[in-house]
Amino acid sequence: MKNIKLKPVKDQVIVITGASSGIGLETARLAAKAGARVVIGARHEDEIQNIVKDIRSRGGEAVGIGMDVRKHEDHIKLKDTAIKAYGRIDTWVNNAGKSIFGKLTNTSLEDEKDLFETNFWGIRHGSLVALPELKKSKGALINLGSEVSGVAIPLQGMYSATKHAVKAFTDALRVELTKEKAPVSVTLVRPAAINTPYADHAKNSLEEGGPSLPAPIYDVSIVAKAILKAAEKPQRDAYIGFASRAFTVMETIAPKLSDKFLLKMFEQQKEGKQKHSMGETRSEQDHHVSKSSAYTKVTAGQKKVKDKGGEKRV
C-alpha cells in the first residue's frame, strides 16, 4: 500500500453505506464540504433523499438511494448509481452496522443471524462490488471495524464476533490485493465508543435497563475526519481514540487483566434510554463526550487542509 497515491478528497467520488445517521452521515457531510462528490445509501430512502437535498443546499454534490446492505444486488445498484452520476468511484466506505445488547444466552438466533448479515456480509458484499471500480481508479476501500475487532466485550458478544470477522476479512483481502499488486488501499477503521445513535438503534435484549456505551466516548467528527484522511493517505488501521488501541494491546499482552477490566463494563452498558434518531449524527444520551483525540491526530497524520470554500479543517 505504500506506493499507492490517492487523490485529494476534494477531487474524489466517495461512496458511503449506512449514511442516514451517525458516522456515515457525518462522513458524507464533511466529504461534501471538502468538495467530494458523495454517493450515499441506507435503508430509509426518504431520509437519504433529505440528506442529499441538504448537502446540495449547502453547495455540495450528492446522490443517494435506499438500499439494504444485506443484499448483494443493492450494492450493485449503489455502484451503478455512482458510475451513472459521476463516472467512477475513488473511495468506498463500508460503514453500515448495528448491534445487539444482551447476554449471549438471551439473544435470539434470528437476531444474531441478522446482525451478521448486516455487519459482516454487508461489508463483504460492498467490498467485492467496489473492488473492480477501485482498481480502475487506484482508490481506497475503507471498512468500519471497531475497538472490539480485537477484543470481545460482555453484553455485546455477538457484535464483537461480527467485528472480529470484519477484521479477518479485511486483513486477508489486503494481503491478497498486495500480492497481485492491485492499486487499492485497504483500511480497517477501529473506533472506540463514539457519540452516535448507535445505542439508540441497537436491539435491546438486556434483562434490565437500556443500551448505553461505556466511557470514554469520542465525538463522531473524529471518526469522520480519520476516514477522510484514510481516503487520501493509505493506512492499514485507523484507531479512533487511545482507548481503542489500549484495548487491543491489553488483550494481547495481559488477557487476564483485560477480562477483569471488561467485567466493569456490565453496568455501564445498561444505563441508556433509547430514542428514534434517524438523520442524526450524535446521540442525545447523557454522557461526557471527548471532542478530540490527540492519539488519533498523531497516528492518522491529520493536519489542516482547506475545503472547497477555503476554510481550514482539522
> Which pLDDT tens digit goes with each residue over 229-262?
999 999 999 998 766 666 677 777 877 777 776 6
Q: Is residue 82 in some structural domain?
A: yes
Q: Is residue 1 in some structural domain?
A: no
Q: Is residue 72 in some structural domain?
A: yes
Q: Is residue 81 in some structural domain?
A: yes
Q: Is residue 118 in some structural domain?
A: yes
Q: What is the extent of the structural domain holding 189?
A: 9-300
- Give the pLDDT score at 197: 72
Catalytic positions, written as ranges: 159
Q: Is residue 210 in some structural domain?
A: yes
Q: Is residue 305 in some structural domain?
A: no
Burial category of 310 from C-beta neighbours within 10 Å (exposed 0-12, middle 13-18, buried 19 and up): exposed
- Give the pLDDT score at 222: 94
Rounded-to-integer distance, Cα 212 and Cα 193, Å: 10
How many helical (H) and strand (E) elements, i.e. helices and strands, does the chain have? 12, 13
Q: Is residue 206 in some structural domain?
A: yes
C-alpha radius of gyration, the chain, whole number: 18
- The CATH number that applies at residue 189 is 3.40.50.720
Burial category of 243 from C-beta neighbours within 10 Å (exposed 0-12, middle 13-18, buried 19 and up): buried
- Give the pLDDT score at 229: 97
The residue to which cell 453500515 is assigned: 96
Rounded-to-integer distance, Cα 150 and Cα 251, Å: 8
Number of independent structural domains in the chain: 1
- Give the pLDDT score at 50: 98
pLDDT along the chain (314 residues), means of 10: 88 98 96 99 96 98 98 99 99 96 94 98 99 98 94 91 98 98 98 81 76 80 96 95 70 75 63 52 55 55 49 39
